[in-house]
Amino acid sequence: MNDTNTKELTTLWAPWRMEYIISEKPGECIFCIPTSANEDKDRLVLHRGKEVFVIMNRYPYNNGHLMVVPYQHASSLDDLKATALDEMMRMTSLCTTFLKEAFRPEGFNIGINLGSAAGAGIKEHLHIHIVPRWAGDTNFITVLGEVRVIPEHIVATYEKLYPLFNK
Catalytic residues: 127
3-state secondary structure of 156: helix
**Would you list the domain boundaries of the chain?**
44-165
Residue 102's contacts (CB-CB under 8 Å, 6 or more residues apart) are 64, 160, 161, 164
Average of pLDDT values for 21-29?
71
Question: Where does the pLDDT of residue 1 fall: very low under 50, low under 70, confident under 90, or very high at 90 and above?
Answer: very low
Taking CA atoms, 95 is separated from 114, 160, 161, 162, in Å, by 21, 13, 10, 11
* 52-56, 66-70, 115-119, 163-167: segment of lowest average pLDDT: 115-119
Indicate the average pLDDT of the chain. 83
Mean pLDDT of 86-111: 96
pLDDT band (50, 70, 90) for residue 20:
low
Q: What is the band of 129 on the pLDDT scale with cuts at 50, 70, 90?
A: very high
Give the predicted TM-score (pTM) of the model: 0.77
Give the CATH architecture of domain 44-165. 2-Layer Sandwich (3.30)
